[in-house]
Amino acid sequence: MGKIAVFPGSFDPLTNGHLDIIKRASRIFDEVIVAMFINQSKKPLFTIEERVKLIEDVTKTFGNVSVDYSTGLLIDFVKKKNASVIVRGLRPGDFEYELQNATMNRKLDDSIESFFLMTNPEYSFLSSSIVKEAAKHHANIENFVPKPIAKALVEKFS
Ligand code: ADP
């Protein structure tokens, strides 16, 4: 059986930084599942259905990437999908938060490994929230997100 990795996140919306991690993970693992998790404390701009459709659209050429979502616990989702790896991207400042999550996940199930890919320096400043802030004020965001997502952001704020 091939190695299946889950890349969890909010992806509200997906940025070029996320896409770079997906692309690199898809070269390392046999299968990558991009999974949205419902975070009750964050009010999302895009619905789950909108985010799933947009990510499917921009990853359809990869061949081994699929998109899903869950309202449950990450570790349970990973096990349900027969995956053994959790992929996360690391930007400057992400380390402590990621270490806390990875440690908790290891305590919950130590057969599942957290795997970190360093941000591409070109995207190290990029986050969904900074892109949303720029789009809200009608700045040009085409260098920061894939085209269909730039279009969806312009529509949200028009
Ligand atoms: P979460 O709310 O789970 O942090 P995000 O959608 O913000 O969800 O991020 C999902 C994952 O993508 C995280 O591992 C985050 O560190 C990573 N990530 C976000 N932006 C970038 C970027 N510009 N470069 C590399 N990794 C990134």
Walking along the chain (158 residues) 10 residues at a time, the average pLDDT comes out as 94 98 98 92 92 98 97 97 98 97 98 98 97 97 98 96
Please report, to the nearest 10 degrees, the dihedral formed by the alpha carbons of residues 78, 53, 136, 14 taken in order: 40
Element (H, E) at 86: strand 85-90
128 is catalytic: yes
Q: 27 CA to middle of ligand 1, Å? A: 19
- Is any atom of ligand 1 closer than 6 Å to the C-beta of 17? yes
How many angstroms is it from 109 CA to the middle of ligand 1?
Answer: 22
Which atom of ligand 1 is closest in space to residue 11's alpha carbon?
A: 6
Q: Does the annotation count 138 as an active-site position?
A: no
pTM of the model: 0.97
Residues 5, 115: Cα–Cα separation, whole Å: 9
Return the pLDDT at 105: 98
pLDDT score recorded for residue 101: 98
- Give pLDDT, residue 128: 97
- Per the annotation, the verdict on 156 as an active-site residue is no
> Residue 40's pLDDT is what?
77
pLDDT score recorded for residue 38: 86
Query: What confidence score (pLDDT) does residue 42 get?
Result: 77
Q: Ligand 1: distance of its center to the CA of 51 in Å?
A: 15
Q: Which residue has the tokens 């941000």?
A: 119
Q: Please give the number of the atom of ligand 1 that sits closest to the Cα of 123.
A: 23
Nearest CA to ligand 1 atom 25: 119
Going from the N-terminus, what domains does the chain have, and what CATH number goes with each? Answer: 4-156 (3.40.50.620)
Q: Which protein residue has the closest C-alpha to ligand 1 atom 15? A: 89
Active site residue 91: yes
Pocket test for ligand 1, best of 119, 130, 141, 149 (most atoms within 8 A of CB): 119
% helix, strand, coil for the chain, step of 5: 45, 20, 35
